[in-house]
Structure 1
Amino acid sequence: MSDTTPQAAARIAQLRSELDAHNYRYYVLDEPSVPDAEYDRLFNELKALEAAHPELVTAESPTQRVGGAALTAFGQIRHEVPMLSLGNAFEELDLREFDRRVREGLADELPAGDLFGGGASVEYSCEPKLDGLAVSLLYEHGQLVRGATRGDGTTGEDISANVRTVRNIPLKLHGEGWPAVLEVRGEVFMSKAGFEALNARQLESGGKTFANPRNAAAGSLRQLDPKITASRPLEFCCYGVGRVDGELAPTHVGLLEKLKSWGLPISRELKRAMGVEDCLEYYRDIGARRQSLAYEIDGVVFKVNNLAWQRELGFRAREPRWAIAHKFPASEELTELLDVEFQVGRTGAVTPVARLKPVQVAGVTVSNATLHNMDEVARLGVMIGDTVIIRRAGDVIPQVMAVVADRRPADARPVQVPEQCPVCGSQVERTQLIKRSKGKESVSEGAVYRCVGRLACGAQLKQAIIHFVSRRAMDIDGLGDKIVEQLVDTGLIGSPADLYTLTYEQVVALEGFADLSTRNLLAAIAASKQPALARFIYALGIPDVGEETAKVLARSLGSLERVSQALPEVLTYLPDIGAEVAYEIHNFFEDAHNRTVISQLRERGMQLQEEGEVHAEFAASVTLAEFLARLQIPFIAATGAQKLAEKAGSLAGVIALSRDWLELSVLKGLNEKAKQSLREFFSEPQQVARAEAIEQQLQAFGMHWASEKKVVEGLPLTGQTWVLTGTLEAMSRDVVKEKLEGLGAKVAGSVSAKTACVVAGPGAGSKLAKASELGVKVLDEAEFLALLTGYGL
């Protein structure tokens, strides 16, 4: 042992104590005491010290949650006190009947009332029923020594190595006074935000995604390799105890509060209720807030709060008489897939829709569900006639989650995409994805099938015009879906441009129109002739171009002419525009019909506002090195591209260098493979032509490295992403969004770790919960208005 060991041991002990305290405040009290960066600094210091002094590493150290060696199989653990399941209440009447039985069983304990103590109320504990995996944790003398699954209630699996990796499970109990043996029971679960992040990582790595947070939590906890469990965002919440040496408290709520004082997390929604009416009120309240909670729940658990009364009531069969789970209406159900029909959207996408045998899911009758696209149909392996699992969450469109394969009937039929459009009869073609890699173009099949009829297809025409006139697009008041359908069906319009040729006589003759409504509609159409460039781009309905992408195009390139002329490779220099979207934009403006409609709109008085030059931040923004790297020349990445740029100074110089083998051979910084690849790349005329075309457009747009740089006026929120949630009372969301974008911020629809700030009004729900979970800054409306005032807005 070295001379520094006493000092190291003292510092290690101090760090462990500090980290344990921070974990307790973060996970149990929900009162973080230090920023994440400070926690990470302390944690990394402890890791470094333990690495230098491995003899000082102990099992309860916060660093020992990373998981050890993988197991070949789980061992079996017999529960000394069985882990019983709960009885269920599905209707209000079921809960009232449970309460009646409890009061009947406690007739001798309750104050006098009717024959069965009917005049008295029983106090219950109330807590949400988490949708996760039940586990048992055994502590001996305050140290975590074992973890087990519920299993069949009598025998579970030994998951000790895995539970040690769950961040909010204390490896050593806090405080003092805990019994020599304490078995804690609870639920391991995954928050909604953690589940989304995990699935995103799985997609990126090509791994399997999970259907829901419960499956993700169960699958993560039952990994033979604890390192995998350690990488998953699991959490624990305790709801009771099993074996305990001694008494902890006289009530269930008191017991949980005692566990909390020892560092074990309990539900923040834990409450007491006096009588069945208070229980029903709790059930309705948390049911209304269910979607805004940070985690999934499938009901509420009510328990007689008095522990002595629990013992008196006892058990029946495999469930206690003193507790019940009042379940919410199921969000997943089984039903039969009767057929698959195909709908046509405004971009021509032909989408499969499941027609189902009607079934009640989460209190709503569901007869249709989305199948997304044919890749999803293939992934699910679904066939017409199958029994399928349907899931519905909140207001989200129901979706088919899985197939019950062993119930497949003999006459099940495969799902086939129609060869002709079900609306117009035009050909249906699968989209193709064009990608460039290592200087070569590759074509692969996309997930979407499209009708090629374009606006000759009634479904596409109607949907395209409905989108064109919508509030966030051209915002033509009075042009609802039904009126658009009338105009198309009567042949008065055949494209968005025809809206601007409508006459008084044509409109007033339509069903439901009189003099005033006709004049109002024509006035609204006329008033829409001066849209902002971004609104107009969005209104065109370019596939995969939403409001934010339309704003990027308008702000960056400054004119419809540049946007329509931009090559896909040039578009990818703009923020958040990838290759696939770039090709969609380019192909849209290459289409002769689309160009005709835009030309007609111009001729009929369309005057775009806020057009100008390429934004200053993009002037001379493309370097020669970046340009060369983006050409995807095999074996030439950023470093090699920089060497070429320094040597040649221009694209013409690079091309000349590629043809001068002697000069190229002595160039340092490129290996032989890269040099040979450069020669081969520019020996192909089409590659030279493509590179020169891109350079010419960069020059025309002023983005070329030789272009004149412009001074960029900094905006205070440039580069930040903000999110709005709840009801904003002082101004509309659209106005708030415009003000934030005017300050340089991007306004997103979901909260992530990259979110700079969330503006939360009354009624804020899941976004606020996620912001709190991720530690994202939150402003209420008053604070936000003060911020705007500070910026002179």
Structure 2
Amino acid sequence: MTAEERISKLRTDLDKHNYSYYVLDEPSVPDAEYDRLFNELKALEAEHPHLVTPDSPTQRVGGAALAAFQQIRHEVPMLSLGNAFEEADLREFGRRVTEGLDLPSADLLGEGASVDYSCEPKLDGLAVSLLYRDGQLVQGATRGDGSTGEDISSNVRTIRNVPLKLHGRGWPQVLEVRGEVFISKAGFERLNAAQAEVGGKTFANPRNAAAGSLRQLDSKITASRPLEFCCYGVGQISKPIALSHIDTLQQLKAWGLPISRELRHAAGVEECLAYYRDIGERRNALAYEIDGVVFKVNSLASQRELGFRAREPRWAIAHKFPALEELTEVLDVEFQVGRTGAVTPVARLRPVKVAGVTVSNATLHNMDEIARLDVHIGDTVIIRRAGDVIPQVMQVVLERRPDDARAVQIPHQCPVCGSHVERTQLVKRSKGRTTISEGAVYRCVGRLSCAAQLKQAIIHYVSRRAMDIDGIGEKSVEQLVDEGLIRSPADLYQLTFDQVVALEGFAEVSSNKLLEAIKASQKPTLARFIYALGIPDVGEETAKVLARSLGSLARVQAALPQVLTYLPDIGLEVAHEIHNFFQDPHNQQVIEQLLASGMQLQDEGELAAEFAASTTLAGLIAKLDIASVGPTGAEKLVAKLGSLDAIIAADGIDLRQALSAKPAEAVREFFKDPEHQQLARAIEAQLLDFGMHWSSEKKTAAGLPLAGQTWVLTGSLERMSRDIAKDHLEGLGAKVAGSVSSKTHCVVAGPGAGSKLTKANELGLKVLDEDAFITFLGEHSITL
């Protein structure tokens, strides 16, 4: 292929990608792939300048304006930025700036002149222009192709942090503000959840969500979206407002326009690099997506002196972070078996570097996700990796699908043990009806006879948050299972020194340490023990609720689903999972073996005082979900008939004295079923047994100082782990949540605190740093 042919193909491909990205809001390739194609074109045009044409993507900024909107011509073009991908690129930019300003460069005799720069994160959104005349917002426009954009005036007016009238005074008669419209990470999650709930379009990423929301023909839709604006500069202006870029932004802030909280000054390129590294480390904690840092020469006079190239200023550059998204090929799809038997598809990929890490596997979640993405073996796909999140397949590039691509099929037999693989069923219970539908997950029915499930169950059991058995890692568990030495968690307590020392990687000292750790684990708290059992849908918090509320393993094992729903944050579906787990004969056998091995649960006791005599007969009737009978009807029923036996025995005449005809008939029909009678009596008997019955003895709860309060931990604590801090707070009665809201009582913020601290300050919440938190604990007799 000649250079001219390659240039032509690159221009065609880039134009197509520009159209998908800027007009359709549906990116066809990751940013990293686009940048590679663009830079290749740029290099070829530099080698063959006679082939450069005015309509080349290197001479333009973005896509054409949408025909659905009126077009607006920018008086001052909205240019794009050049990119730096390596530190060397930024240093080269610094050298060009120094030379362009005719300043002395570094040599053996000195460090050279230092140029001041502004530093701010490069938000991943949609560039817009806001035009103010006499302080009033009169126009909003997209960047479009840099020269002409779309008139989105009515839509930008709906963005809550865009002032319709500038604050204060002294603004120029004409002021064009430029910035980015974006959606925060939390807003993006809420938007996609809301879209999915109503069957609407979900978005690939926050940038596309922002673009799609801002370019709605109906501004009411735009108004319903969580859009935010952040300004980064000015365009046309009737009079200067400052001498530097940073002072310009600070003046815009004084007039009510939002600017980045991360705006900083840097003296020279090395301080720019330090800023880049710092914000890169904090990137995942930010409340919004960023894909790099923008550095600008701070002096406006120096900016004018440096001037522009065809599509970008010489005084600014975007230093990009390593790509979060990349293109690669699906070589195969394999299936892994987890602790609960879930058979999960995993894409085996042609290795590719994403965000600085080589990725060769990506999760596909389940078969429904494969169907939604339409993934085939052999496809070219876009994968995404953010922070420590497991890489995932985001999109298939359908135009690159080969003729021999193969559809993905779920295995009929477990790939580990050969047992049957069956699709899960979703059970929905409401008003006496049980609706069953197919779930998205497939499971191996082999349970602990399946080596994969057994290994994962043991790994979970010994983990730090469960039984905390130090010295036994995944490799050791695999050996123990493969050698047939353990077939359930209870077998750990039967291991001998000779068996352990014979394992690969174990010597006399490490074997003794492991056996001591296993023995030490026999005195867990009830909550740890419950969590270690690996009950589906029961995490640490639910395990703590069960332990604190019911007080004993016997009550947790016996609890009926309807009784469990009296406990905080336990819904009926999770209650059934808990009940079914403890009714399973195999699980009962494992628990009996664990207790027989010498397990001593440390904090078993009485039912929590707040649950003593906490129920009502009307509440029991309501929990039976009888059609047409809600809480009010249940109370009327109890007021008239007085007892469960009387309600069960009542005929139609008795019932119609308490209820109208339809609910009265529903109650009569419900209790005609002997199973329903048995269930209701069983629930009442258990409430009596547990001490939760309305006739049980009331207890006085010993008040905990933080009872009823919600606390949030954020950032890195240096004098204790966050787990220990959480244990201390929960011991004082607080609930420790993962997100900040208006109901949060206090936030403990360590170094590196990000969006949670920001939100706490915005809401005016009480915030403690680590020193103040430790002082607070000391006031409650907790010492480190």
Give the 5 Å matches for 1:119-518: 119-202=112-195, 207-518=200-511
Are 1:700 and 2:676 matched, yes or no? no
Residues of 2 paired with 1:753 and 1:221: CA distance? 28
Q: Choose from 701, 711, 714 the match for 2:700.
A: 711
- Structure 2 match to 1:100: 95
Q: Choose from 661, 682, 690 the match for 2:652.
A: 661
Give the 5 Å matches for 1:550-629: 550-629=543-622
Kindly provide the CA deviation profile for residues 350-404 of structure 1, in whole angstroms up to 9, marking residues without a partner as x. 1111111222211211111112222322332322222222111111111112222
TM superposition shift of 1:183: 0.9
Q: Is the partner of 1:320 in helix, strand or coil?
A: coil
Q: Is the partner of 1:476 in helix, strand or coil?
A: coil
Are 1:524 and 2:511 matched, yes or no? no
Percent identity of paired positions between Structure 1 and Structure 2: 75
Are 1:81 and 2:76 matched, yes or no? yes
TM superposition shift of 1:143: 0.5
TM superposition shift of 1:773: 4.8
Of the structure 1 ranges 409-418 and 748-757, higher mean CA displacement relative to structure 2 is found in 748-757
One-letter amino acid of the counterpart of residue 662, structure 1: I
- Structure 1 match to 2:735: 746
- Structure 1 match to 2:710: 721
- Structure 2 match to 1:61: none
Q: Is the partner of 2:78 in helix, strand or coil?
A: coil
- Structure 1 match to 2:34: none
Are 1:755 and 2:744 matched, yes or no? yes
One-letter amino acid of the counterpart of residue 312, structure 2: E
Q: Is the partner of 1:450 in helix, strand or coil?
A: strand
Of the structure 1 ranges 414-423 and 276-285, higher mean CA displacement relative to structure 2 is found in 276-285
Kindly provide the CA deviation profile for residues 419-448 of structure 1, in whole angstroms up to 9, marking residues without a partner as x. 111111111122222221121112222222
> Given the superposition, is the C-alpha separation of residues 112 and 516 from structure 1 closer, same or farther in structure 2, using an over 3 Å criterion?
closer
Task: State the number of aligned residues.
Answer: 715
For structure 2, the residue ranges without an aligned partner over 5 or more in a row are 1-65
Of the structure 1 ranges 181-190 and 469-478, higher mean CA displacement relative to structure 2 is found in 469-478
TM superposition shift of 1:752: 4.4
> Given the superposition, is the C-alpha separation of residues 81 and 72 from structure 1 closer, same or farther in structure 2, using an over 3 Å criterion?
closer
Q: Is the partner of 2:435 in helix, strand or coil?
A: strand
TM superposition shift of 1:480: 2.2
TM superposition shift of 1:140: 0.8
Residues of 1 paired with 2:746 and 2:202: CA distance? 29
TM superposition shift of 1:458: 0.9
Q: Is the partner of 2:464 in helix, strand or coil?
A: coil
Residues of 2 paired with 1:73 and 1:447: CA distance? 40
CA contact (8 A) 2:344 2:365 kept: yes
TM-score (norm 1): 0.86
CA contact (8 A) 1:72 1:224 kept: no
Q: Is the partner of 2:646 in helix, strand or coil?
A: helix
Are 1:684 and 2:673 matched, yes or no? yes
Residues of 2 paired with 1:250 and 1:772: CA distance? 32
TM superposition shift of 1:588: 1.4
> Given the superposition, is the C-alpha separation of residues 691 and 434 from structure 1 closer, same or farther in structure 2, using an over 3 Å criterion?
farther
One-letter amino acid of the counterpart of residue 515, structure 2: L
> Given the superposition, is the C-alpha separation of residues 511 and 330 from structure 1 closer, same or farther in structure 2, using an over 3 Å criterion?
closer
TM superposition shift of 1:784: 1.4
One-letter amino acid of the counterpart of residue 301, structure 1: V
One-letter amino acid of the counterpart of residue 274, structure 1: A
One-letter amino acid of the counterpart of residue 522, structure 1: L
For structure 1, the residue ranges without an aligned partner over 5 or more in a row are 1-70
Q: Is the partner of 1:340 in helix, strand or coil?
A: strand
CA contact (8 A) 1:291 1:766 kept: no
Kindly provide the CA deviation profile for residues 597-642 of structure 1, in whole angstroms up to 9, marking residues without a partner as x. 1111122212222112221211222222222222222222222222
TM superposition shift of 1:202: 4.3
Kindly provide the CA deviation profile for residues 127-173 of structure 1, in whole angstroms up to 9, marking residues without a partner as x. 21111111111111110111111122222222212211222211111
One-letter amino acid of the counterpart of residue 170, structure 2: G
> Given the superposition, is the C-alpha separation of residues 422 and 777 from structure 1 closer, same or farther in structure 2, using an over 3 Å criterion?
farther
- Structure 2 match to 1:735: 724
> Given the superposition, is the C-alpha separation of residues 224 and 707 from structure 1 closer, same or farther in structure 2, using an over 3 Å criterion?
farther
Are 1:675 and 2:664 matched, yes or no? yes
Residues of 2 paired with 1:112 and 1:219: CA distance? 46
Residues of 2 paired with 1:560 and 1:535: CA distance? 11
> Given the superposition, is the C-alpha separation of residues 545 and 152 from structure 1 closer, same or farther in structure 2, using an over 3 Å criterion?
same
CA contact (8 A) 1:420 1:428 kept: yes
Residues of 2 paired with 1:324 and 1:687: CA distance? 72
CA contact (8 A) 1:725 1:764 kept: yes
The RMSD of aligned alpha carbons is 2.4
> Given the superposition, is the C-alpha separation of residues 672 and 408 from structure 1 closer, same or farther in structure 2, using an over 3 Å criterion?
farther
- Structure 2 match to 1:4: none
CA contact (8 A) 1:293 1:769 kept: no
One-letter amino acid of the counterpart of residue 320, structure 2: K
> Given the superposition, is the C-alpha separation of residues 766 and 180 from structure 1 closer, same or farther in structure 2, using an over 3 Å criterion?
closer
TM superposition shift of 1:774: 5.0
> Given the superposition, is the C-alpha separation of residues 771 and 198 from structure 1 closer, same or farther in structure 2, using an over 3 Å criterion?
farther
> Given the superposition, is the C-alpha separation of residues 671 and 228 from structure 1 closer, same or farther in structure 2, using an over 3 Å criterion?
farther
